[in-house]
Amino acid sequence: MQSSTLNNFDLDLFSAGRHWHIYNVMGAHLLTRNGTEGVRFAVWAPNARSVSVVGDFNHWDPSSHAMENHDKYGVWSLFVPGVKPGALYKYAITTQDGDLISKTDPYGQAFELRPATAARVIERKAYAWGDGNWLRERSQFDWQHSPIAIYEVHPGSWRHHGSGRWLTYRELAEQLIPYVLETGFTHIELMPVTEHPLDESWGYQTTGYYAPTSRYGSPDDLRYLIDQCHQQGIGVILDWVPGHFPEDSHALAQFDGTALYEHEDPRRGRHRDWNTLIYNYGRHEVRNFLIGSALFWLDTFHVDGLRVDAVASMLYLDYSRNEEDWIPNEFGGNENLEAIEFLKDLNNVCQSRFPGTLMMAEESTSWPQVTRPSAIGGLGFNLKWNMGWMHDTLNYLQQDPVFRQYHHDKLTFGLVYAFTENFLLPLSHDEVVHGKSSLIQKMPGDDWQQRASLRLLFSYMYTYPGAKLLFMGGEFGQRQEWSEKRELDWPLLQYEGHQGIQALVKDLNHLYRSEPALHKQGFSRTGFDWIDCHDSPQSVISYLRSGGDQQRVIVANFTPIPRHHYRIGVPVGGQWRELFNSDSTYYGGSNVGNPYDLEAIEHSWMGRPHSLEVTLPPLGLIILGPES
């Protein structure tokens, strides 16, 4: 047996939960020792009786390479000479009960293609990044006053190769980047590409927190995709899942024969809804494992931020539980105090070490100060998904237009809390699966009304305060529910109606990025003011967006009835013109609108000193701006 090369400094930091480069210590690492090339293996299994490394280099024999136990730290390690890049390996762990279990490496940086589960030794050569300018600019990113329009992508179903297989990371770089540039999004969000055993989980049941899935290529292939995005001015966000993990026997569950990463008591350690396990955030080594994973992606893959999944399930001890199925915290409350401290630590460490990156919370409750600094009691995220806006807006648009006047509060209530957090408006994958139907199919009426309503939804989202997120396929009116098993319905783009929806999204992205009024004050009350939110009988709303010295008036008509001679108040007199109309024939609409300049007269209306008359298109939204 060879002695290990781990040092106590690394192990002390790890046991304290503060080793921010733990991915360079734990797992499998190629190195040369005393002139001999090989691999150092290291794994945390404090309750194991013994641990061996097994692989294709020793015929998977547990008796060949027993590991050395660093008793104080619960870490086992071993240097094995002669192991080469590409070698497959696992850990053979003897539990205190004498059972021999086989586990893959929690810190593995590459894995076999599912259903195989072994980790793979990789050679960490320095990837030749070409995104230096991007990273320098990102460190100064003024995200609160910049446009953020995210295209959410599932890499395995965006588009398929002609043979029917998935596209590789490099093929995605060739096809996805030009498409995102054409449509105008600022960022791509990849649904979880961390390694996972089940396609149907979409990556949300992760087993390899330090490895990109091998479904689409190698780790360097993913680096190439991200590098090319950056060189073309596109940011990349990764979906990341620290809230739970699957029970698969080869992975983290009962890792050393005990509840090591999870809680022993199922009232703390099991998600009833998802039949998955919950991390023990109070254990230092578990916190280090998770924060180390986040840092790993920010550091070695240059990602521009993380969307943290299912934050609400982490914050509440009684999340989706019956009254008798949870344990209160030490003060008798339902707050998960350990998870709260973990999230604060996660955000502080990631943002201090990688300035300009974005931490986003999928948090669906009214938990306060999710996007406020931890120093004043917040969780420290940059952005929070505005699930309330999404649910209210979709619920409203699913109503028959005749009855929308009775649900007008669904449009107006969101502005009561819109600036209590830094919100992102999500039209995500979750809204187009499991019988919910696609976005366009949610809309009532005939085909024309469905397309008009979808254009209205997107126009409303892009003129509403906050960052934007749209799931792939929505931008051209995908009609089928999304499935990970098939590519998007690209043939729909042979039809003018769907071409029009795509053209509208392109123009909305362009307007959002070029018009300061639509993004400069997207997280501040100074950037939004109602003109009229009370016209429920006609289902019309109007509001003012401001940014810098620019002001834009937005008027939306949520019925299929055109409104002629509709008077609205405006902040200044003189000539105004229509800058955008979702009902344009260019987008497949009926071209009802205001083709000529409009004169704002000195006639007080809606609390404004001037007013003008406009024509409102059916199921349409217009943006107006003063000529000056």
Of 332, 356, 385, which closes a domain?
385
Indicate whether 452 belongs to any domain. Answer: no
pLDDT cut 90: percent of the chain above it? 95
Query: Which residues touch 392 (CB under 8 Å, ≥6 apart)?
Result: 410, 411, 413, 414
pLDDT digits (tens, 9 = 90+) for 8-65: 999 999 999 999 999 999 999 999 999 999 999 999 999 999 999 999 999 999 999 9
- Give yes or no for a contact between 291 and 347, defined as CB atoms under 8 angstroms apart: no
- pLDDT, residue 203, reads 86
- Give yes or no for a contact between 409 and 388, defined as CB atoms under 8 angstroms apart: no
Indicate whether 125 belongs to any domain. Answer: no
Burial 537-555 (b: 16+ CB within 10 A, else e): ebbbbbbbbbbeeebbbbb
Question: Are 112 and 154 found together in one domain?
Answer: no
Question: Are 261 and 339 found together in one domain?
Answer: yes
Q: Is 182 a catalytic residue?
A: no
Of 74, 104, 120, which closes a domain?
120
Question: Are 243 and 277 found together in one domain?
Answer: yes
**Does residue 544 have a pLDDT over 90?**
yes
CA 503, CA 35: separation in Å to the nearest integer?
62
Question: Are 106 and 192 found together in one domain?
Answer: no
CB atoms within 10 A of CB 435: 5
Three-class secondary structure of residue 469 per DSSP: strand
Please indicate, yes or no, whether the overall pTM of this predicted structure exceeds 0.75.
Answer: yes
Indicate whether 438 belongs to any domain. Answer: no
Domain containing 206 equals: 146-385
Q: Compute the half-sphere exposure of residue 612: CA atoms within 13 Å on the CB side of its CA.
A: 24
Question: Are 168 and 59 found together in one domain?
Answer: no
Question: Are 89 and 156 found together in one domain?
Answer: no
- Give yes or no for a contact between 477 and 451, defined as CB atoms under 8 angstroms apart: yes
Q: Residue 439 to residues 122, 164, 363, 365, 492: CA-CA distances in angstroms? A: 42, 26, 22, 23, 15
Question: Are 297 and 162 found together in one domain?
Answer: yes
pLDDT digits (tens, 9 = 90+) for 198-252: 888 898 999 999 999 999 999 999 999 999 999 999 999 999 999 999 999 999 9
Indicate whether 362 belongs to any domain. Answer: yes
**Does residue 599 have a pLDDT over 80?**
yes
Question: Are 266 and 368 found together in one domain?
Answer: yes
Burial 436-445 (b: 16+ CB within 10 A, else e): ebbbbebbee
| Mean pLDDT (whole number) for 383-387 | 97
- pLDDT, residue 315, reads 97
CATH of residue 105's domain is 2.60.40.10
Question: Are 182 and 324 found together in one domain?
Answer: yes
Please tell me the total count of domains within the chain. 3
Indicate whether 449 belongs to any domain. Answer: no
Indicate whether 588 belongs to any domain. Answer: yes
Q: Residues 185, 524, 316, CA angle at the centre, nearest 5°?
A: 85
Least Cα distance to 521 among 213, 145, 66 occurs for 145
**Does residue 2 have a pLDDT over 70?**
no
> Prior bond to 115 cis, omega within 30?
yes
Indicate whether 76 belongs to any domain. Answer: yes
- pLDDT, residue 125, reads 81
- pLDDT, residue 457, reads 98
Question: Are 245 and 346 found together in one domain?
Answer: yes
CA 15, CA 288: separation in Å to the nearest integer?
8
**Annotated catalytic residue, options 262, 304, 362, 583:** 362
Q: Is 309 a catalytic residue?
A: yes
Indicate whether 164 belongs to any domain. Answer: yes
Q: Residue 27 to residues 121, 271, 359: CA-CA distances in angstroms? A: 9, 28, 26
CB atoms within 10 A of CB 168: 19
CA 65, CA 542: separation in Å to the nearest integer?
71
Of 350, 385, 420, which closes a domain?
385
CATH of residue 580's domain is 2.60.40.1180
| Mean pLDDT (whole number) for 355-359 | 97
Question: Are 158 and 194 found together in one domain?
Answer: yes
Question: Are 334 and 225 found together in one domain?
Answer: yes
Which single residue is written with the structure tokens 């023990």? 280
Confidence bin at 1 (pLDDT 50/70/90) = very low
Q: Where are the beta strands (DSSP E) in 582-619?
A: 598-600, 610-616
**Annotated catalytic residue, options 171, 239, 262, 309:** 309
